[in-house]
Structures are given as structure tokens and as C-alpha cells.
Chains A and B, each alone.
Chain A
């Protein structure tokens, strides 16, 4: 009995890179940061209305790990999906766990809009 949907092995995601996966028919972006954490959020960039976030560059702003949209560079907090350039915008995030080197994605988080 496993938790969530297994999508890929951890080593299929580059350090400070991302991949897109289909989770229940929706495009989800999964990121791996330098400190070993894994995050998941919708792949859909609300600014450009395109499914692209997994292709963004990862980085830090102060202590906040973020992804910059590859389209117009808006930054999103990897932990919460909060857009760092506009308090009113947020991308849905997903629970994610790594078990035995396998990445599993759960359902959209409750606090999501």
C-alpha cells in the first residue's frame, strides 16, 4: 500500500531542475532543490497561461526557494506556490514524498484556492 502516485525516480530529476508529470490527468511540476528537498506544484503558469513551470530556473530569494517561470520570469515560492511578485497570485501545490528513491505525488493541498 503506497501513498500518492509514483511518478519517477528521484535521480530522474536533476539537482536544481524540474520535470513535468501527469497526476490524475493534470500536469504537475516536480522540483528538486540543492538541499535535497522535493516540491510539487501545478505546471500551469497563471501569468502566461501555459503549462511550463517545470522548465523554470530554480534559485533562492533570501531563504525562500523559488522557481522562475521560463516565460516571463515571475517567481513562485516552491513551498507554498505563492507568487513572490504579486501577493494575489498563487499556484496550487501538491504533497510529495520520496520513498526508496521513488517520488510520489499526493493530491492537491487543502489550503489551495
Chain B
């Protein structure tokens, strides 16, 4: 085809919907006839705005839809950081901010919406923000570094997300809502009250029925003046009082707009100009705008279809919402406010558990029309498709919202039920994809249908007689958790008994260390006891970390990073005497490297005599509890973080677990101990301690999330005891806390139920298990030195115990030893006398 026969399609706006439009255009072959030019004014390519709040945790790259910044299809040109300034329907050209003029055959407006900032006095002071783009969040994060109190104006869906973000940034947070309840559009008064209680429990302050009269401050924000009540202090104010369609371009070109704003389009999303289309939040099909992504995606598909000559049309959308805010489930779907004539309401409410559930059913009780779920939205995945598909209700519809056990899980969905509303995927499509070994888009946008999707796929595999393979290795067809239970139930103490009764062969480097760890947790014995030594990875087997040349490192525990001058001197002397390389670790302690295996007992003798103990740098066990100087020294500290860190490190030291465990305690919200990058992290507040769980650094960093706030010391320790024991018992081999929490059905909410609410009644059992660990702890290095049986292993050669292995050699760098590269096995020749075996 000669180039001039090709037509040009310009897309104004590269947000979620603009991106989906391009994807659909490429997938469905629109690019066979059109060259696409996509122009976005944000500095980066489209990203997942729905997941915007996770920017603080995962960063911009993770959110991006186009990490490379370009589409694979060469017929699509993407221009970022450039505004479409206007277009002329007469000449069919668009004008870009750089001055470029692009002629178009078709123009698609996908400019989205902008946050509405009410024109109250002071709304433009420094410290006022909106919550829409990555740049907004970067600015808020920057401002939060020096602030302690923040306020969000607007208690709707987005306002609560913003408030969540402020709280996560460590700010004391207010939510100011003009309506008498939170999320007024989605939930009723009773649901709103339940939601408010949850949010207040998390330490936020909620003001409902509160109109903001002005933002206080001279140049910078200092607070808010609220009508009827007194002023509140705040150094950061985020406006989240609704959105307005960005319809400026259409207005400038003289196209028709909807009464309440938005580009008026027909059911094919065509504007009043036949070559101009509008989709997403800037569009108002039939005069109504939709502030959710799913309708926008549907509009994108409709326009691609229309340009290909297809029949698609947009006839309204499901406005159901489900979100998880600060761990609180909220869902609203269908006719949530029972406006249908004759509709009945069924309500289940449990104030203690903080659960409110309402179903709206038709007058004859046969059909589900809608509902509201607060505190537990696990039934949403089943209920919402029931509304959409009109399936007949069971005889006792209240069963659908009663607490689990009898709940909704058993209700079969019809094949045509739409499971994912964001991407319009039905149950039948999910099953078909599972059968073909592919996947659908279900779950990839807001994520609220993930649990339901997973269940459908699992049910499908089970119906096919297939089991999802979760075996540990070729020797055990069990998961680590199942093995843990098997060992506990039978009271096994030896690998041989376990592999003979439940496994095949003689095990391997996967199952042996896993079983060694399980035995260590349950028996609290020495890791080198009896037959368990040969199960251990080399690090555990020699109670030290192996290094690249076969030597080991020695890391004594320095709890909380606190060390006396005498302690430092001993470490220095040991390093000097044994010629070890010393380095301050990333975990606030000191690593001594380059020890030959046969030197380890002598090194530890010196350290143990000076009061040091094993730091378990080699074990899948507690590593360090990092601390900051806290209120003892620091002018900002509000609690003694060092003392708490030391106490926690002493409490959990030696606990064998599925993977290593790291912790941190910071003395105030400035977070110098990086507690939120740890498996459990504690941050001091004026009132006590906030507990965060399931974070880590490493290759896929995850920020720990708030489990409970303002705890006193006893409660804090009780929660950590439960959390760790629950993890140790149920996590997979080499699974750290973050992926473990992720893998639990219900995620962090599940953890909170078990740890904080004690929903399973497991609390005291978990605490007792931890108490046993604490009571039976002993230093495994000291115990090794006291036991000649264990010491016999620490020899270079069985027939020449003190002859250094000739394969180990060192060079010197910056005044210390370093391993030398090896070119091949080294022989001493026959000259070295070897002892005759005794």
C-alpha cells in the first residue's frame, strides 16, 4: 500500500482509556489502515491510575503500561509531555504545544478528567494538592517529609484513598466530608457509620457533615476552618472533592457539551462532529459521565469497532465498586439504595466485628438487585455477577451474607455471568482460557475480581481431575505447610521416619533443609542435634556463612545495633588475631570474613567468653532488629526505640522460620530505622507503637503495611508473637512474609483477623508456641563449643585436622585480606604427613 493511502488517527490524551484504545486498535487491525498519533501531556506514557496509591510502594515503573515508552507496532507514534492545544474541525488538524500541526482523518478525545478544587479562600496556598497523577503523589510525598498533620477534603472513594496515602506517609490524618457520611455515593448511613468506625480505629480522624470554609495560612497551609466546629491544624491539604471532565478541547472547537460538562457523544461515542470521538472520563454518553475505568474501556472498544464498521454501542455501565482501604473492604453494586419499586432490603450487621452487609432484592424475593458490603466484601465476587446475570436467588437469600461457612462461595455462577467488570470477562471466558492454558484480562485492573477468578480456575482444574502441583520436590508431594502439620501431628523427630512414611527416595537439598527447619521450630533443639546435621544447608551445618573461596564469615549478634566500646575492642582483637576481613553490615552489625572452617570454634570461644552469641546470619531465622537512637537521644524521638529493638531481638532470636526475618523499630515517624522495609516494623507514635508487617528489601522490595496502631508494649508483643508464629506455621519454603501474606486468601485482612481479632481463636496457641521458643532459647554456638561430638566436624581434613586446605588463599586489598581467585585444584604433594586414622 502506498503511504498516502493510509489515513491518520490522532488520540488526544494518553491515560488509561487512551492506552486501551491503542491496544484495541492494534489488536483488531485498525492500524492496517490508520497511522496512529497519540499525544499525552503527562511526562510519561500511560500508567495504572487505578493503582496510583501503590506508587509509594512500588514506584512509577511498576505502574507503567508501557515500560519501554513506546508501542511495538511501528504504525503508532507516541508523543509524551506535549499538550494538544486545540483542533480545527474544518481543516481537520490538531495543534500541539510544541507548534506541530497534525492533519487527521479521525480524532479521538481521551483527555480524562481533572480533580475539582472548590474555589474556597486559600485553596491555592503552598501545601495544597490534588490526587490524580504520579507527579501529584511525588509532590505530596516530598511535602510529607517535613509535615506531621494532613487533611483530605472529601470523604468519597478517592478522598479515602488519598487519606490512606497520607496516613501511610506517617501523617496524622483528617478526613473532612461535607455529606453526613463517608462514601455517600456508594453506601447508606449504616454502612457509612461502620466504615467511619473502621477508619477511626486506624487512627484517622473523620469529620462528616463538615463544610470547609477556608484554608488557613499565609503562604503555606496551616489548617482548615470548618463551619460549625473549630479549626483543625494541617500542613498538607489534599482536595478530593470530585472530578470534572477535561472537555476544553471540544469546547474550543465548538462541539456540543453535556449539561453538566463532558463531551456529549452518542451511543457510538461520536461527538457532534462526525470525525471526532470522545471516550473515557472526558466523554458524556447520553449526557452522563462515568468516573470509573471500566466504562471508559468499553467506550474505547466501541470506537474501534465503529471505525472498523462494526455495530458496537455503549449503553450505560455497571457502576459497581469494590475497594480495600486501609484494609477495610467496601463494596457497592447494582441498586444499592433500593430505588427499584417494591425492592426489599436484607441486612446483616455485626458492630463488634465491624461488618455491615445489605442485600437489595426484588419484591418477590427472586432476584438480587444490588447491595452494600462494609468490613467483609468476600461475597462481592459472587453477588455482583448475580445482579448482572439476573440468576434466580436461592430460597434463603440471607445465607449469602451470613458469616463464612454458609456463605456465598457455594453458589454456582452461570457461564455467562460477568466476573470481571473492568475488562468484561465472563465465567465462560475464564474457563475457556484455563482450558487452553492461557489467561484473560480478568483481575488485571482493579483486582476486585481476583479471588473469584482464581476460584473459578481452581474449580475448573479440580473438575478436570487435575491437581495444581504444590509439591515440595520429587520426594514429597506435600507443601511445606502440610509437612509442618504432618510432623506436628505425628510428633516426628527424624528425617528418616518422615521420608519413609510420607516421601520417596532419600530426599535432596530442597526437602532436607525444609524439614530441618520444621524440626527446629517444633523441637526447639540444637540445629546440629543427632541426625539433623546432615539435613542442614552448609551455613547451618557450620553455623556460619560460606564464602566464595570456601571460608566462612562470623557475625555475632549486636542486638538493636547497640554495642559497648569493650565489645567493639573484642571484635577488633579477634579479627586481628585470626586475620579476618571486617566490615559493617547493612544490618547494623559487624561481619568478620575469611575464617577457615577449622578456625570457627576458636574464634567463637573468644567471642562467647566476651559475652557475644550467634547472630544467626547463616540461618533462616531472625536476623536483626534494626533500631534508631529514639527518644533517649534524638530530639524528635517519642519512644525508646533502641530498648524495644533490643527486647524484640532477644525475644525472637534463634526462631527458625521458612525464610529469614528482619525487623526494625523507629522512634518516630521519620523512620530512620527503615522499619517499613522489614518483615515486621514498629514505629513509635505519641500514644504507643504502630505495627507494620510484611515488608522486605532485596530483589522485589515491598513496603510493610500497617497492621495495627497506637499499641501499648504488651499488645504489640502479643501481635508480633502471633504474626510470626502464624507465618512460621503456614508459609511456604523460602517464602518471606510479603509473598506469604499475598498468598493468603484475604491477604493482609486475613492476617489482621487472625492476629488482631483472633477470629480463628488461634491467638493463645500461637502465643504459647512463641513462649516455648523464648523459654527454650539457648546460644547454639556456646552449646556447640560445650559438645565435643559437635566439634569433631570442624576440621579441614579428617586425616589432617589442622592442615589448612591448600585450595584457600588470600590477597591483600586496602589493608585487609580478600579471597584469591582459584585456577584449579591445588595439591600439596605427598610431603605433608597425614595422621593415621585412629
Contacts and interface: CB of A to CB of B under 8 A. Distances in A.
Interface of A: 5-9, 12-17, 19-22, 24-27, 30, 33-34, 42-44, 48-52, 55-62, 65-66, 68, 70-71, 73, 75, 102-103
A38 B727 CA distance: 40
Contact of B825 (A9, A26, A34, A103): A26
A59 B797 contact: no
Contact of A57 (B535, B805, B831): B535
B807 A60 contact: no
A21 B796 CA distance: 8
Contact of A50 (B474, B509, B807, B836): B807
A5 B837 CA distance: 10
A60 B496 CA distance: 14
Interface residues of B, number: 49
Interface in B573-593: none
B834 interface: yes
Contacts of B692: none
A21 B546 CA distance: 19
Interface stretch (B224-232, B286-294, B500-508, B715-723): B500-508
B104 interface: no
Given A70-B538, A73-B509, A6 B830 contact: no
Give the 4 A-B CB pairs with smallest separation, nearest first.
A70-B538, A59-B508, A25-B828, A51-B807
A55 B541 contact: yes
Contacts of B796: 20
Contacts of A12: 792, 798, 837
Contacts of A68: 508-509
Contacts of A43: 807
B506 A27 contact: no
A25 B836 CA distance: 14
B468 interface: no
B799 A8 contact: yes
A68 B473 CA distance: 14
A66 B512 CA distance: 13
B827 A26 contact: yes
A61 to B, nearest CB: 7
Interface string B792-832: 10001111100101111000000000000111110111111
B534 A21 contact: no
A24 B475 CA distance: 38
Interface string B529-547: 0010111111001100010
Contact of A21 (B798, B808, B823): B798
A22 B834 CA distance: 7
Given A9-B837, A57-B509, A73-B509, A20 B825 contact: no
A21 B549 contact: no
Contact of B534 (A7, A16, A66, A73): A16
Given A7-B837, A27-B825, A48-B548, A22 B534 contact: no
A97 to B, nearest CB: 14
Contact of B837 (A50, A59, A75, A102): A102
Nearest to B511: A59
Contacts of A27: 797, 805-807, 825
A49 B550 CA distance: 9
B513 interface: yes
Contact of A52 (B546, B803, B829): B546
Contact of A25 (B533, B821, B822, B832): B832
Contacts of B828: 22, 25-26
A25 B831 contact: yes
B272 to A, nearest CB: 67
Nearest to A50: B550
Contacts of A21: 797-800, 834
B800 A22 contact: yes
A49 B822 contact: yes
Contact of A55 (B507, B512, B538): B538
B508 A61 contact: yes
Contacts of A51: 550, 805, 807-808, 825
Contact of B508 (A8, A14, A60, A102): A60
Given A9-B837, A22-B828, A70-B546, A44 B798 contact: no
Contacts of B506: 16, 33-34, 58-60, 65
Contacts of B832: 22, 25
A6 B799 CA distance: 9
Contacts of A62: 474, 505
7 contacts: A19-B797, A19-B798, A52-B546, A55-B538, A56-B538, A59-B475, A62-B474
Contacts of A33: 506
A22 B546 contact: no
Given A25-B831, A27-B807, A57-B508, A50 B798 contact: no
Nearest to A65: B506
B534 A17 contact: yes
Nearest to A49: B822
A6 B837 contact: yes
Contacts of B536: 57
Contacts of A103: 837
Nearest to A32: B534
Nearest to A105: B799
B797 A55 contact: no
Contact of B507 (A17, A26, A42, A59): A59
Given A22-B832, A57-B509, 20 more contacts: A6-B836, A7-B798, A14-B534, A21-B799, A22-B799, A24-B829, A25-B806, A25-B831, A26-B828, A27-B797, A34-B506, A48-B548, A48-B550, A49-B821, A49-B822, A51-B807, A58-B506, A59-B475, A59-B512, A61-B474
B798 A20 contact: yes
Given A24-B827, A56-B538, A57-B534, A50 B548 contact: yes
Contact of B509 (A14, A26, A59): A59
Contacts of B542: 55
Contacts of A17: 533-534
A12 B795 CA distance: 12
